[in-house]
Structure 1
Amino acid sequence: MENKPQTGLQHVPTGAALSLHSTRSGIIARGRRDAANAASNLHYRQAAIDYNVGNFSEAATNFQLAAEQGHVESQYILSTMYDTGKGLSKDDTQAAYWERKAAEQGHVYAQANLSFRHYAANSFAEAFAWCQRAADSNLAWAQYNLGLMYRKGEGCERNNTEAAYWYRLAAAQDFPEAQQKLADLYYLGEGVPLSYTQAAAWYRKAADHGNSEAQFRLGYLYEVGLGVEHDYTLYRHWMRQAALQGHEEALREVKRREYRDAV
């Protein structure tokens, strides 16, 4: 089974709605109890209300005011609004400015996105440094991205053992892409001892979460009986699941099998 080239880093998605007491707010800026926190900043509170009812221009104005007061969550959200042009004119310079402000205050989502911004500009050393900070705060996206960078040697020396370590941390948080990449390492015996059993187990976890590459690879393992008992029914099931998501190799395999079965 061919091991495909590693894909690029993932950008942290932005939620559709905001909460004054969200998990996202809870994992950043631990220990802050000053007037700039989410509960006490009036500009942030009004901005969140406006944002959630679709008044994005009004929300942007209040996020800006709160951000200028040093409110870290507002700085992060304002950066995403400049990034997407929601409620104000799209402005990459302003997006990067407020993203860095939030990142420097310890906002892990901002750190991860700042890492992505540097990565997209081929500034791999800076991308790696910011990704490391977010990964150390247990953000699964960053842990996965850090694993990719170690795997490819971008911003660091190539190190499959470190890649496996960071993939595993993200995989333990049910991050399906990390589960699939960790399975790849077990399949190849790179950074971890070669183990088709472990590869199959991690492919299964990722496949159960809808990862089409893992579904395809798990189907292959069932076809040839590596790490699992040969099972033609499960081979067809996982190939078809991957094909339904548009996985090109799985689509070809399903068509090939249907042709053979018809003969």
Structure 2
Amino acid sequence: MDDKVKAGLKHIPGGSALSLHSTRSSIIARGRRDAANAASNPYYRQAVTDYSTRNFTEAAASFRLAAEQGHAESQYLLSTMYDAGEGLPQDDVQAAHWERKAAEQGHAFAQANLSFRYYATGDYPEAFAWCQRAAYSNLAWAQYNLGLMYRKGEGVLQSDADAAYWYRLAAIQDFPEAQQKLADLYYIGHGVPLSYTQAAGWYRKAADQGNAEAQFQLGHLYAFGQGLEHDYTLSRHWTRQAALQGHEQAVGELKRREYRDP
């Protein structure tokens, strides 16, 4: 039940950052504070239209024109297109350049992606600094990453209490990985009071969203009656759900239970 501190930060891949159907990164439904201002730029509006019709080359050109005028949203989206090589040649240098331009203007997604870029090179202090800025903009994905960095002491003094604080902010926004990590802390009593009931509640929220680790741990709690009533049927159900996703411990547990299961 230990926190898997070896896990790295979450990153929104460049290839999906422009998906119009993504709840985390849609250029239409992101609900950013400057949405009205963003839409006022004619090059940006044209780029969105072109992207929606899969005219990626034209979209990239229009985003570039808006980006060169200092339009933060276009700078960010241009960076993701350079990352993915979508509508123009893949170019990490250009991606980082435009990402930083947007981040310096307070663009939360750009700040979080820039944080990940620094993290990948091992520059944890810079990664933490940019992640913190994005987290203060209430970006759940960044709040979760900040929790991970506090938990592992990367770029900041290690603090389970601060990790729990940031995990919770992301968890209440229904970020499943944060719900699972917060549950882990409640189970072992690190940074928060030990509480199997709280652990079970947060595991259930993450498990319902398909988090395999939470499903496995929820199965464990049902098996031992920790934080909820013992229920072998539900224990087997959640263990199987995790196993179906390839969770190694869950697969092993199901094999050990075969002699009891019909």
Tell me, yes or no, whether TM beats 0.5: yes
RMSD of aligned Cα (Å)? 1.8
Match of 2:123 in 1: 123
Question: What does residue 227 of structure 1 align with?
Answer: 227
SS in 1 for 2:70: coil
1:108 aligns with 108
What displacement does 1:20 show?
A: 10
Corresponding residue for residue 151 of structure 1? 151
Note the C-alpha offset of 1:4: 3.4
Match of 2:61 in 1: 61
Residues 2, 184 of structure 2: 8 Å contact kept: no
Please state how far the C-alpha of 1:44 moved relative to its aligned partner.
Answer: 1.0
- C-alpha change, 1:152 and 1:20, in structure 2 (3 Å) is closer
1:195 aligns with 2:205: no
1:40 and 1:60 map into 2 onto residues whose CA distance is 18
Displacement after TM superposition at 1:260 (Å): 4.1
* Paired letter, 2:54: G
The equivalent of 1:22 in structure 2 is 28
| CA shift in 2, pair 1:209/1:219, >3 Å | same
Q: Which residue of 2 aligns with 1:178?
A: 178
253-262 vs 126-135, which deviates more?
253-262
SS of the equivalent of 1:5 reads coil
Q: Determine helix, strand or coil for the equivalent of 1:250.
A: helix
SS at structure 1 position matched to 2:39 = coil
Q: Work out the CA distance in 2 between the residues paired with 1:247 and 1:259.
A: 20
Distance 2:18 2:259 in 1: 44
Q: TM-score with structure 1 length normalisation? A: 0.92
| CA apart distance, 1:79 | 0.2
Instruction: Measure, in 1, the Cα distance between the counterparts of 2:166 and 2:158.
Output: 13
Checking the alignment, whether the CA contact within 8 Å between 2:20 and 2:28 is kept in structure 1 is no
Q: CA deviation at 1:177?
A: 0.3
**How high is the sequence identity, in percent, across the aligned residues?**
71
Aligned counterparts of 1:87 and 1:57: Cα–Cα separation in 2: 4
Report the Cα distance in structure 2 between the residues aligned to 1:43 and 1:238, rounded to whole angstroms: 49
CA distance in 2, matches of 1:198, 1:39: 43
Distance 1:260 1:203 in 2: 25
CA contact (8 A) 1:163 1:191 kept: yes
Shift of 1:17: 2.3
- Amino acid across the alignment from 1:22: I
What amino acid does structure 1 have at the position aligned with 2:149? Answer: M
Alpha-carbon distance change, 21 to 254 in structure 1, aligned in 2, over 3 angstroms: closer
